[in-house]
């Protein structure tokens, strides 16, 4: 027969081993919806595949996309980046793209479905 302290110790050990202590980051996602467009904002189109990344129909590198978007959106007003995902695109690749675009000020991202 197992004593009560052994059962408590096993439960404590179980909860300590199954819990995670890592801090999770949030990435804000917005789905595409119909609405009125703004004439003064710049729209950029990003096509994201598993092995490809295109900005306005030109191949770009993942490490350079934030600089290119910032150069295109240099006037300081709000700009919209439309992201189209291919069927084989992994969620980690999307997170990498959104993380690199997070540094650009005044940028709003929208994921097309």
Please indicate, yes or no, whether the overall pTM of this predicted structure exceeds 0.75. Answer: no
- Would you state the pLDDT for residue 4? 92
- E strand spans, 8-89: 43-48, 53-55, 58-59, 79-85
Query: What is the C-alpha to C-alpha distance for residues 77 and 80, in angstroms, rounded to an integer?
Result: 10
- Would you state the pLDDT for residue 10? 94
**Paired sense of beta strands 43-48 and 53-55, if any:** antiparallel
Mean pLDDT, contiguous 10-residue spans, the chain (113 residues): 88 89 66 59 87 91 88 75 90 90 85 82
- Would you state the pLDDT for residue 33? 60
- Would you state the pLDDT for residue 102? 87
Query: What is the C-alpha to C-alpha distance for residues 107 and 34, in angstroms, rounded to an integer?
Result: 19
């Amino acid at each position: 027969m197992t004593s009560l302290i052994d059962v408590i110790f096993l439960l404590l050990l179980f909860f300590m081993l199954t819990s995670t202590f890592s801090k999770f980051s949030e990435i804000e996602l917005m789905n595409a919806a119909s609405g009125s467009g703004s004439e003064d904002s710049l729209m950029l189109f990003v096509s994201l595949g598993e092995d490809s990344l295109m900005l306005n129909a030109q191949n770009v590198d993942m490490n350079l996309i934030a600089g290119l978007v910032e150069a295109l959106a240099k006037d300081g007003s709000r700009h919209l980046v439309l992201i189209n995902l291919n069927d084989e695109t992994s969620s980690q690749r999307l997170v990498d793209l959104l993380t690199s675009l997070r540094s650009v000020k005044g940028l709003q991202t929208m994921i097309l479905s």
